[in-house]
Copies of this chain bind each other. A is one copy, B any other.
Amino acid sequence: MADKFMSMKNLGFTLHSRNTRYKVAIPDYLNEHTPKTIDRVFAAAFDLGKKVLHPMFEEMDRFPPQLVDGRVCVHKGVRPMLETLGQDGWIAATFPETWEGENMPSSLLLCINFIFATANYSASVYAGLTMGAAKLILSFGSDKLQNTYLPPLLAGKWQGTMALTEPEAGTSLGDLCTQAVPLEQGPSEKGQYKIFGEKIFISAGDHDGVDNVVHLILARIKGAPAGVKGISLFVVPKFRPDAQGNLVENDVVVTQVFHKLGYRGAPITGIRLGEKDNCIGYLVGQEHKGLAYMFQMMNNARLEVGMGATAIATAAYHSALDYCRTRVQGRPVTAPKNAAPIPIIGHADVRRMLLFQRSVAEGALALILQCGMYEDILAKDPGQTDCHLLLELLTPVAKTFPSEMGILSTSAAIQCFGGYGYCDDFPVEQHFRDMRIHTIHEGTTGIQAMDLLGRKLVMENGRALGLLKQEMEAAMAAASLHPESARGLEEMARDLAHGMALLEKTLQTLGRLAMEKGPEAYLADASLFLEMFGILVIAWQWLTMADGALSALEQENLKKKDTLFYEGKLCVARYFFAYELPKMQGLAKTLGDSAQMTLTLQDAWFTD
């Protein structure tokens, strides 16, 4: 198996070449982290990834979690990994100092999670889920909840989860029916409820690598309104502290561990709550606001899903690259028959597949770090509401582009290996399987598409798209500043402008459709619009990277290795504009011509 699963150089380059018009106001959005301190943090994360997470990448897949006598047994490496991540402060890193955190900016956390996920995606989610749950408790929980749950969670001794889905309510969260019945209210029981229900598809929903599991669950308080407005958020631990502070069983039973295509190192479980009428949940924040709370974290979870997909695509790319450089087979088309065979990286089609993978993985990384930058600027100055709008607009893309394109990208990695790629001697077949979850969890692609077209593009009278356009124009302007030979950047800027114009035209068409035929027609092909928008957005990111690479190349006394790296960046940018951006054209045509046939067809037409 190839040792290399990511490029530290590329990560640093991508982080530092992110740019936005709003950076002017908040230059120190990375909280006084200098490139050098960042390097040190990343190097430490990489070290952990390499020594702790990566060595169990295959094993965690081959020996997935088992449910034995009600207990979920995971790989024996999970417990020491979580202890290390807790002790060394990784789980608490973004928390305030009160909780022994260091207020690490989102951008850096995203990078660290990227490093961990390239090493071993399944292993990386345990701590990520704990962070998410702990963040919810920090943001909305009472002091008591915080004091009880945050220390063991942040120490990696307890696992945090998010339990949303129910057997009959997945995408349609408003239909969930787990119930919360208030306890007889003594003063000590304030905010306590008996919980009854069933949840499924809970990542790390129980396992023997921790001493307790803390579920953040959505439930409906008895008598609450129907739909999404009647949902509240609860902490439901597997073991709850009794009056004496001892941990006692909380009537949370694991019903199953799902057997999955990939992502097999993490246990995805079903749980039943309150079977014996003895499951206590602790209300987080106010009644009926659960979904809003959850969504605050969901946006971040969606970026993390995009980052997970990006990481898997990255690791698969590095495996494929290594193989293509060492596997000798065939000759150039024009070589004499008796010429020696060459490494397959010399074949045009193989190079195309490598460029494709790189363009997806590195383009997605740039977009997610762009989102991280907006988050960090907002965190420093909540008055930067433009950044909030941009973040809202880009989140569905940052979640979906890597997830959808990652399927193709890991598939291309398999193709680079030929028959060997289909065998488990190499890691790419696992990457292909691990990848496939991402278009589903934390909101399917269809949901992201409705979110983009139905909410994000229309909020505040459609202001977000204008802001994005300004960002793109700033990038085009920067690209035009290079002296003499612009090495293709002018053409890229021009193509990006054309792409934006095509997108706007398509939106006008859809807008007319909305007026003439209503919202169903407007949204019918939302997934295609999201795909089209995603290509444009990633093209923008590639222009910014090409700009960064060219600026670097214009420096004097560049090391040879750095020159090669930046030339490569320029080449991948050109690839994206030549091979990927043109796909917008077909999508635009379909969005204009489809006549929304999916609305008028009859279900019975699927009869045979």
Would you call A595 an interface residue if the criterion is a C-beta within 8 Å of the partner chain's C-beta atoms?
yes
Surface stretch bound by B, among A179-187, A207-215, A418-426: A418-426
Contact of A337 among B174, B584, B596, B599 (CB under 8 A): B174
Whether A419 touches B334, Cβ cut-off 8 Å, given contacts A411-B407, A571-B597, is no
B351 touching A601, Cβ below 8 Å: yes
Surface stretch bound by B, among A32-40, A115-123, A283-291, A562-570: A562-570
Instruction: Please measure, in the bound complex, the distance between the C-alpha atom of A365 and the C-alpha atom of B81, giving whole angstroms.
Output: 50
Surface stretch bound by B, among A271-279, A429-437, A550-558: A429-437
Within 8 A of B (CB), among A569-597: 571, 574-575, 578-579, 582-587, 589-590, 593-597
A520 touching B333, Cβ below 8 Å: yes
B419 touching A436, Cβ below 8 Å: no
Contact of A260 among B258, B332, B346, B423 (CB under 8 A): B423
Contact of A171 among B329, B348, B528, B561 (CB under 8 A): B329
Instruction: Please measure, in the bound complex, the distance between the C-alpha atom of A242 and the C-alpha atom of B329, giving whole angstroms.
Output: 39
List residues of chain B with CB within 8 A of the CB of A583. Answer: 583, 586
A432 touching B422, Cβ below 8 Å: no
Tally of A interface residues using CB under 8 Å: 112
Whether A226 touches B337, Cβ cut-off 8 Å, given contacts A582-B590, A586-B586, is yes
Would you call A94 an interface residue if the criterion is a C-beta within 8 Å of the partner chain's C-beta atoms?
no
B605 touching A578, Cβ below 8 Å: no
Instruction: Please measure, in the bound complex, the distance between the C-alpha atom of A354 and the C-alpha atom of B604, giving whole angstroms.
Output: 13
How often does this chain occur in the complex, in copies? 2
A526 touching B349, Cβ below 8 Å: yes
Surface stretch bound by B, among A82-90, A383-391, A441-449: A441-449
List residues of chain B with CB within 8 A of the CB of A589. Answer: 582, 585
Within 8 A of B (CB), among A131-182: 165, 168-172, 174-175
A302 → chain B closest CB, angstroms: 16
List residues of chain B with CB within 8 A of the CB of A444. Answer: 415, 418
List residues of chain B with CB within 8 A of the CB of A436. Answer: 411, 414, 422, 429, 432
Would you call A10 an interface residue if the criterion is a C-beta within 8 Å of the partner chain's C-beta atoms?
yes
List residues of chain B with CB within 8 A of the CB of A169. Answer: 329
List residues of chain B with CB within 8 A of the CB of A575. Answer: 597
Contact of A333 among B432, B519, B598 (CB under 8 A): B519
Chain A interface residues toward B at CB < 8 A: 7-10, 165, 168-172, 174-175, 200-201, 226-227, 258-263, 321, 325, 328-334, 337-338, 341, 343, 345-352, 354-355, 358, 407, 411, 414-415, 418-419, 421-425, 429, 432-433, 436-437, 439-441, 444-446, 449, 454, 518-520, 523-528, 561, 564-565, 567-568, 571, 574-575, 578-579, 582-587, 589-590, 593-599, 601-608
Given A170-B329, A582-B590, A585-B585, 9 more A-B residue pairs with CB atoms under 8 Å apart are A171-B330, A172-B329, A261-B423, A261-B429, A345-B606, A421-B440, A422-B437, A429-B436, A571-B605
Supply 10 A–B pairs (Cβ within 8 Å), ascending by A: A260-B423, A261-B414, A325-B606, A332-B520, A351-B598, A415-B446, A568-B606, A575-B597, A578-B594, A579-B590
